[in-house]
Amino acid sequence: MSFIVIKTQGQLELMKAAGRLTANVLELIRENVREGISSRELDALAYEFITKNGAVPSFLNYHGYPASICASVNDTVIHGIPDDYRLKSGDIISVDVGVFIGGYHGDAARTFTVGDVADDVKKLISVTEECFMKGFFAAQKGGFISDISKAVQQHAEAHGYGVVREYIGHGVGKAMHEAPEVPNYYAEGMQRIRLREGMTIAIEPMINLGSHLVRTLKDGWTVKTIDGKPSAHYENTIAITANGPEILTKA
Ligand code: MF3
Ligand code: CO
C-alpha cells in the first residue's frame, strides 16, 4: 500500500485491542524464556495464546513464513525461524510477534536475556529500548518521519552501535505493513513525510553491537549480523495523536 491510512478514533480503539493482545503475547514469552526451552516451544505457546483469544497470528503463512513468532538468537537480527535449539545461559533472544484481531494488526518485539548475559550485551539491549523511546518521543504530529529516524540513529551511534539499514519500521493497520516506511537511520534526500494525527506506525530499531551490515541465510528468512556479533530488537506499534504519540502495544 503506497498511501498512508489515517485512523479514526474508533479504529484506534480496535488497534489498541490488537496491540494489547500483542503485548500480552510478549509478556507470556517473557515469563517462559529460560535455559533449556526451545523457540519452537515458545512459538507453540504464542500460537495457543493468540488463537485462544480469538485472534490470528499475523506472521503465520505471511509470504510463506512458517511460524507465529520470529525468534532471533544472539547474532540473528530478525526473522529467526523457531527451531529445536535449547536456550542456554548467556544467550539473548529477540521475539517479534504480530496479532490480527477485529480487522487490525498489532506488531511488537522485545529482546530477552537467558541466565547470565555479558554486560556489554545487556547494555546493547537497554540502549536499543532507549532508541525506541527516543524515536517514540520524536513522533509528534507536524513533524517528519525523519525526526524518528534521526533520533533512533543518533542514540545508537552515540554508543558506537550499528544501525541496521536493510529492514525498517512501517505503517500498521488493516495490513501488517502499510505506508509509510520508518527507517532507523537518515540519509540526505529521503522522502519528507509529515507525521499526522491518526497515523499508526511500528517503530522498530534493530541495533548491532558491531557492524550495521547483515546477511540472509539460505532459508530465505534468517537475518544475521555480518560479523557474528549480537543484535537487539525493540518494537511497538504507536499512534500519532493530538496529545503526542501513544503506544498501542501495551500489556
Ligand atoms: N514483524 C516483522 C516486522 O516488524 C515482520 C515479520 S515478517 C514475518 O515488520 F514473515 F515473519 F511475518
Ligand atoms: Co514491524
What's the confidence (pLDDT) of residue 105? 99
* Ligand 1 site, residue 161, Cβ cutoff 6 A: no
Name which of 86, 48, 52 is nearest 67 in CA terms: 48
CA angle 208, 213, 219 (to 5 degrees): 100
The predicted-structure confidence for 93-123, as pLDDT tens digits, reads as follows 999 999 999 999 999 999 999 999 999 999 9
Q: Which atom of ligand 1 is nearest the CA belonging to 79?
A: 11
What's the confidence (pLDDT) of residue 120? 98
CB proximity list for 83: less than 8 A, separation 6 or greater: 38, 39, 40, 71
The predicted-structure confidence for 47-88, as pLDDT tens digits, reads as follows 999 999 999 999 999 999 999 999 999 999 999 999 999 999
Give me 181's grid cell. Answer: 516506511
CA dist 125 and 94 (Å) reads: 10
Q: What is the identity of the amino acid at 150?
A: K
What's the confidence (pLDDT) of residue 1? 54
In the chain, DSSP finds a helix count (H) and a strand count (E) of: 4, 15
Nearest CA to ligand 1 atom 11: 59
Query: For residues 221 and 81, is the Cβ–Cβ distance under 8 A?
Result: yes
Alpha helices in 89-144 (DSSP H): 119-138
The predicted-structure confidence for 132-162, as pLDDT tens digits, reads as follows 999 999 999 999 999 999 999 999 999 999 9
**Distance of CA 225 from the midpoint of ligand 2 (Å):** 19
End-to-end alpha carbon distance in the chain = 29
Q: What is the identity of the amino acid at 25?
A: V
The predicted-structure confidence for 160-218, as pLDDT tens digits, reads as follows 999 999 999 999 999 999 999 999 999 999 999 999 999 999 999 999 999 999 999 99
Domain boundaries, the chain: 9-247
**Ligand 1, residues 22, 50, 69, 78: which to mutate, most atoms within 8 A of Cβ?**
78
Q: What is the identity of the amino acid at 240?
A: I
CA dist 163 and 64 (Å) reads: 27
Nearest CA to ligand 1 atom 8: 59
Element containing residue 240 per DSSP (H, E): strand 236-241
What's the confidence (pLDDT) of residue 169? 98
Exposed/middle/buried for residue 115 (C-beta within 10 Å: 0-12, 13-18, 19+) = exposed
Query: For residues 171 and 177, is the Cβ–Cβ distance under 8 A?
Result: yes
Exposed/middle/buried for residue 143 (C-beta within 10 Å: 0-12, 13-18, 19+) = middle
Query: For residues 140 and 243, is the Cβ–Cβ distance under 8 A?
Result: no
Residue 232's pLDDT band (cuts 50, 70, 90): very high
- CATH superfamily, region 9-247: Creatinase/methionine aminopeptidase superfamily (3.90.230.10)
**Distance of CA 77 from the midpoint of ligand 2 (Å):** 13
What's the confidence (pLDDT) of residue 2? 81
* Ligand 1 site, residue 43, Cβ cutoff 6 A: no
The predicted-structure confidence for 1-22, as pLDDT tens digits, reads as follows 589 999 999 999 999 999 999 9
Name which of 105, 14, 23, 2 is nearest 57 in CA terms: 105
**Ligand 1, residues 96, 97, 203: which to mutate, most atoms within 8 A of Cβ?**
96
Instruction: Please count the residues of the chain.
Output: 251
